[in-house]
Chains A and B, each alone.
Chain A
Amino acid sequence: NAGVTQTPKFQVLKTGQSMTLQCAQDMNHNSMYWYRQDPGMGLRLIYYSASEGTTDKGEVPNGYNVSRLNKREFSLRLESAAPSQTSVYFCASSDGPGGQETQYFGPGTRLLVL
């Protein structure tokens, strides 16, 4: 099992460009998450999908959109990238929603917006 996979691993964008970060999990998990990690800020939740067909905003959703394509895949889209979105993005999944569930993380996507 690959667990949680993310593509791309690294991306450089110019301000105003758009891109989609892809995430897939092969653990048959119901819930999926997108986080960003900045130095000294810890992991901050952008969006989550408690189950297939649902998505909800997290702590820092502005400037992002998500799509739960099916049970396996959860994508994050930046419509018009800004330098403030330079960060490391992690996708995670868990069997169910909520803080009692263990989350499994992907390797991350490092995004630089110039």
Chain B
Amino acid sequence: SQKIEQNSEALNIQEGKTATLTCNYTNYSPAYLQWYRQDPGRGPVFLLLIRENEKEKRKERLKVTFDTTLKQSLFHITASQPADSATYLCALDGSNAGNMLTFGGGTRLMVKP
């Protein structure tokens, strides 16, 4: 069955540095990959979607890459700020019926001033 892996350990970085989060998947070839942000006690909020034929996508300080050979997506936040501290979830369109999104467990990012 498909498996999505995100680093369950928190990522701690200094303000102003670039944060890089990883999403790996196995037994699967998604056509779409999405990234969401989740703050404590709140629902996830959509950030970016990237298609399998797109290598890279950018939105302001955010950049997502999608390597279908490595079966990996990288999510970068440049010039990180304490306000970027949150949990980031990757999600892939599923191999299940209906191609529903399947979410990874998320990685918590802590940006220290």
Question: Could you list which residues of chain A lie within 8 angstroms of chain B, going by C-beta atoms?
Answer: 4, 33, 35, 40-45, 48, 50, 56, 58-59, 90, 92, 97-100, 102-108
Contacts and interface: CB of A to CB of B under 8 A. Distances in A.
* 3 nearest CB pairs, A to B: A99-B93, A105-B43, A42-B105
Contacts of A40: 8, 105
A98 B98 contact: yes
Interface stretch (B10-18, B27-35, B54-62, B73-81): B27-35
B106 A103 contact: no
13 contacts: A45-B100, A48-B98, A48-B100, A50-B98, A58-B100, A97-B99, A100-B32, A100-B51, A102-B34, A102-B46, A102-B49, A105-B43, A107-B43
Interface in B38-95: 41-46, 49, 51, 89, 91-94
Contacts of B51: 100
B89 A99 contact: no
A40 B43 CA distance: 16
Contact of B46 (A4, A33, A43, A104): A104
Nearest to A94: B101
Contact of A98 (B43, B46, B100, B102): B100
A42 B2 CA distance: 14
Given A105-B43, A105-B44, A107-B42, A99 B91 contact: yes
Contacts of A103: 44, 46, 101
Contact of B104 (A4, A42, A48, A108): A42
Interface of B: 4, 8, 30-32, 34, 41-46, 49, 51, 89, 91-94, 96-106
Contacts, number: 72
A59 B31 contact: no
Contacts of B30: 99
A92 B96 CA distance: 18
Nearest to A91: B43
Contacts of B105: 40-42
A73 to B, nearest CB: 17
